[in-house]
Amino acid sequence: MEFPKFLLGDNTDYPTAIFVVHTEYPRFIINLENDEVEWLEDFTKEDEKELEEESVNLIEAATAFYDREVSRYEE
């Protein structure tokens, strides 16, 4: 099964949280309520350096995805 690059998620145990799931490498979940990121990968020290650079772009893309999705609901 193929998944979209980003998915929206919610959970009644976290009523104010807005989760965006990034399904491609490096997989992560970001809570847009507090910008907390949970990485779903194990990284080596070498990977961490590259990840630091790329994580800003990935988080901006996740936020843009959320904004786009919300604007579509409002239409």
Q: How confident is the model at residue 52 (pLDDT cuts 50, 70, 90)?
A: confident
pTM for the full model? 0.88
- Tokens in use for 49? 């350096």
pLDDT category of residue 28 using cuts at 50, 70 and 90:
very high
Q: How far apart are CA 3 and CA 70, in angstroms?
A: 19
Residue 74 has pLDDT above 80, yes or no: no
For all residues of the chain together, what is the average pLDDT?
92
